[in-house]
């Protein structure tokens, strides 16, 4: 058999496997299928086990996806390797876990050093533990809830409402009032398009390099969801997770604490470009971003090829009303966006600001209100 015919048969086999995944209910977006094929080309799988984990890392996004992926893979490529068993970590266990590829050195703006220039793309599942908010944080949250409605930019509603002034005559109301006045129209009622808040979209980085700030960012998101009419929140590390509904709980500690059952990639690696492309591949998510105030809370540290991140941020900028990037690294006056990822997306971002806790977030919200 010639080499070309062999390559064609292998390609048909892989594409058949992807079609079977779709038939079994695992609908993988085209960008992620492309990443899977690029991973095969770049890594050159040594055996079926290697190919299995390449597919698991690129084609699945949850344990439920893996339950569909594994038997389908076994039908097409043979035996499935045993999944590693991880011991669940107890929140009370203060023994530090050994540092792996996905554990990042925590960054503190006052310390400087090499932190803030490294990231990882390793993926592992662990349940993060978010402690209760302090009294100071609760006080700042109260200030944020009061400030947020006036800080969000507005847009003219497409629906017309009754108003004291307006370019349109409200004929229905004029007819109703004329009945009361025995056919006399005393004044012409008007209709107008009132202003309404724009959508707000928060994209929160929960990777290992952001673990010191993730809890504060999620508490900020709770205030945004509870106070604004139209707000959506997603987290990303090695995958994308929508967390809007859990954050609707009234108490901030209850809402943020419940995310430990939802956000399974916290304190792990970083794949910003892949997560943002997954967001943009979903038409419903694109509708959320169109014309919205989009705020990305991340240090912008990306591993590997930064072109997917650059392309995704550029498209997100074109869709949104404004795209803001809030980074804990930018709190340091000496910070410069010299990493490949941040330097690539800087031209697509409307503003880069420093936010590392609720106090600095409140200062940025006040800046939005003045603008």
- Segment (H or E) for 23: helix 3-23
Least confident of 107-116, 185-194, 283-292: 107-116
DSSP state for residue 279 in the 8-state scheme: H
Final residue in a domain of this structure, among 36, 57, 77: 77
Is the separation of the CB atoms in 247 and 287 below 8 Å? no
Name the residue range of residue 65's domain: 3-77
Q: What is the mean pLDDT of residues 323-347?
A: 92
In this prediction, residue 111 carries a pLDDT of 32
145 and 269 in a common domain = yes
CATH of the domain at 146: 3.40.50.410
- List the end-to-end C-alpha distance of the chain, in Å, as a whole number: 68
Average pLDDT, the chain: 81
Same domain, 255 and 179: no
| Contact between 329 and 105 (Cβ < 8 Å) | no
Each residue's pLDDT tens digit, 303-322: 778 899 999 999 999 999 99
Q: Are residues 366 and 222 in the same domain?
A: yes
Task: Based on the fold, state whether residues 326 and 244 are members of the same structural domain.
Answer: yes
Looking at the structure, tell me whether residues 172 and 207 fall in a common domain: no
Indicate whether 46 pLDDT > 90.
Answer: no
- Report whether pLDDT(301) > 50: yes
Give the number of domains in the chain. Answer: 3
Same domain, 288 and 331: yes
Quick one: pLDDT band at residue 108, thresholds 50, 70, 90?
very low
Tell me what pLDDT residue 93 has: 39
- What is the structure's pLDDT at 23? 81
State what percent of residues in the chain have pLDDT above 70.
83
Q: Read out DSSP for 151-189?
A: HS-EEE-SS-EEESS-SEE-HHHHHHHHHHTTT---S--
Would you put residue 323 in left (φ > 0), alpha (ψ -120 to 50) or beta?
beta
- Residue 93 falls inside a structural domain: no
Q: Is the pLDDT of residue 158 over 80?
A: no
Q: Who contacts 216 (Cβ-Cβ below 8 Å, separation ≥6)? A: 137, 356, 357, 358, 361
Query: What is the per-residue pLDDT for 3?
Result: 54
């Amino acid at each position: 058999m010639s080499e070309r015919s062999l390559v064609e048969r292998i390609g048909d086999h892989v594409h058949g496997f992807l079609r079977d995944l779709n038939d079994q209910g695992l609908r993988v977006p085209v960008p992620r299928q492309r990443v899977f094929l690029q991973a095969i080309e770049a890594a050159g799988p040594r055996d079926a086990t290697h190919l299995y984990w390449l597919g698991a890392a690129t084609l699945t996004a949850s344990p439920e996806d893996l339950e569909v992926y594994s038997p389908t893979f076994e039908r097409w490529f043979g035996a499935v390797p045993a999944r590693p068993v991880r011991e669940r970590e107890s929140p009370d266990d203060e023994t530090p876990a050994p540092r792996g590829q996905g554990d990042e050195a925590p960054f503190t703006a006052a310390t400087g050093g090499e932190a803030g220039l490294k990231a990882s793309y390793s993926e592992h599942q662990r349940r993060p533990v978010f402690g209760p908010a302090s009294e100071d944080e609760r006080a700042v949250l109260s200030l944020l809830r009061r400030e947020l409605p006036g800080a969000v930019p507005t847009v003219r509603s497409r629906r017309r409402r009754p108003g004291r002034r307006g370019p349109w005559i409200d004929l229905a109301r004029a007819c109703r009032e004329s009945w009361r006045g025995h056919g006399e129209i005393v004044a012409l009622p008007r209709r107008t398009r009132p202003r309404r808040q724009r959508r707000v979209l928060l994209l929160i980085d929960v990777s290992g390099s952001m673990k010191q700030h993730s809890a504060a960012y999620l508490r900020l998101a709770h205030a945004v969801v509870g106070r604004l009419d139209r707000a959506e929140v997603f987290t990303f590390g090695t995958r994308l997770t929508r967390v809007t509904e859990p954050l609707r709980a009234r108490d901030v500690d209850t809402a943020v604490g419940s995310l430990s059952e939802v956000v399974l990639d916290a304190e792990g690696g970083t794949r910003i470009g892949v997560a943002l492309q997954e967001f943009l591949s979903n038409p419903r998510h694109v509708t959320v971003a169109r014309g919205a105030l989009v705020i990305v809370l991340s240090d912008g540290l990306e591993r590997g090829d930064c072109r997917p991140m650059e392309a995704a941020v550029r498209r997100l900028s074109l869709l949104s009303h404004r795209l803001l990037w809030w980074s804990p690294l930018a709190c340091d006056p000496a910070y410069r966006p010299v990493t490949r990822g941040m330097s690539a997306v800087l031209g697509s971002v409307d503003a880069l600001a420093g936010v590392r806790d609720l106090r600095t977030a409140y200062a940025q919200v006040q800046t939005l209100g003045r603008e």
